[in-house]
Structure 1
């Protein structure tokens, strides 16, 4: 029989080993040779649960689609994802000159999760081909991105070649950019970053050719558990009056229209965050062992 000191040491060691094994491990499906949404993936890898997400990815290409089943680092993007369950999209709202209408193009959609084997291959076919169908009112798009018939030039904030960043949204120091007149298009971009510090970064310049198409490219994240939609990056090609004003990004955030229909297959059921679940298990086991030791 163990004496009291030996029993305490043994139980403490068990708690320590169990904690290491449980906290650090997340099981994800991972296959690198998928060609379509019917990918028969049965390979599972173990990764650090504190630093990784399991993901499913669908990317619409000009000649077909690209799909991926894998894991990614939690800080893979330029913004820190504060919860492990989300759907991120990259979509384009673009003007069709032939029919004189705006349409949506879904470029990429990613589902991220953090419970064992949550990126099941059979969920690939559930990723909506049209993403979140991001859209904006046509009258607002016409007014802000299109050139009026009597308009010959486009006013554009001409900023330095380097990106201008600050800690406040919709603001650039007046001495950093100057208003210029463009013969053709103005390109303006905003990116919200949170890895090292919270920054709002902008680019804006004239395009010397008339080969562009008025459009808005949006990268956004929908946090499933929190029902929280956030736009992280926006790029605009326009030749409307004063379309490069920084406030246009605020207008987009206020007016954006989102279709959440395709999110339904990914809504949480009874599962919980793996790290939270593991922590609760460790806490309960620790309390149990400590009760034994005290006894």
Structure 2
């Protein structure tokens, strides 16, 4: 093979690999807005650039941490969840500990096509498809209130994590769903999606002795865009207001008081142009590789 032909072949193969392995993403620095962004008041996003990256996802992060009085937005490439291999949206809210009545909520869009996180193009569709109605469960009782109770606080205890060390404190032989534990601080229940199958809910309930600051309630859902299915990504509840307040039954009652929803049909209704661009791009890649194969067959 002549050196010029070899060089041409290397260029072709390098170009095809580059097309597949890199991703163009918008990079917009974190910006604060003194109003809540809605589908009807999408601002003009400034100081955004595009980056050629080898990260897995283009990301768009929108949230408000003061009951919806203001909003924040950031766009950038990132690695994403270790096991995630499809585009998705996560949505949820959290309630910090304390008595300032503050609730934070937000949306995270993770996508895998060039410039798919352009906020000017995609944020309106995300907001139109999303519903987050929050609720603040009863606040924690003080140590004085706990000591004056007629009966001691008991916590619902349970663990079905495959690795018992993931449920803190260590549970040893505590596996029963009807076990109860007297507690002088507060009760905790944590629910997470299994990191391997991304389907099974792993639950850990216990009495927490560490009184460090943490959120009193978190509910976050994930919406897989390719399959149009939703999963509970994580839920955490800290309480000491009543007997077995951290039980799954009580949590289900709390969940009935708020809504976290995502409408796939609304999200995809205006995506025809984007899908067409992606289809043309994939056809171009296929045609490009086909030409290489024909050229090699004719040459050898």
**Bin of the TM-score, shorter chain as denominator length:** 0.5 to 0.7
Q: CA deviation at 1:261?
A: 5.0
Question: Which 10-residue stretch deviates more, 228-237 or 195-204?
Answer: 195-204
Question: Residues 21-60 of structure 1 correspond to what in structure 2 (within 5 A)?
Answer: 21-36=18-33, 37-48=43-54, 51-60=55-64
Question: How many residues align structurally?
Answer: 263
* Residues 161-240 of structure 1: pairs in structure 2 closer than 5 A: 165-166=161-162, 175-176=173-174, 179-182=180-183, 185-194=186-195, 200=202, 202=204, 204-206=206-208, 216-238=217-239, 239-240=241-242
Cα deviation, 1:54-83, whole Å, max 9, x if unaligned, reads: 1221121227322112111133xxx62231
Q: Who is 2:114 aligned against?
A: 116
Deviations 1:89-137 (A, max 9, x none): 232489xx9xxxxx9955221122222222123244665399532679x
Q: Compare relative contact order (CA 8 Å, sep 6+) and give the higher one, 1 or 2.
A: 1
Taking a change above 3 Å as real, the CA distance of residues 109 and 43 of structure 1, as seen in their structure-2 partners, is: same
Deviation at 1:230, TM superposition (A): 0.9
Q: Distance in 1 between matches of 2:129 and 2:287?
A: 44
Q: Which residue of 1 aligns with 2:292?
A: 289
2:6 is aligned to 9
Deviations for 1:13-50, whole angstroms, at most 9, x for unmatched residues?
A: 233111222112211111225233543243111111xx
Q: In structure 1, what is the Cα distance between the partners aligned to 2:17 and 2:226? A: 27
Conserved 8 A contact 1:191-1:234: yes
Q: 1:251 to 1:274 in 2, by over 3 A?
A: farther
Q: Distance in 1 between matches of 2:265 and 2:110?
A: 12
> Paired residue for 1:91?
93
Task: With the length of structure 2 as denominator, give the TM-score of the two structures.
Answer: 0.64
TM-score (norm 1): 0.65
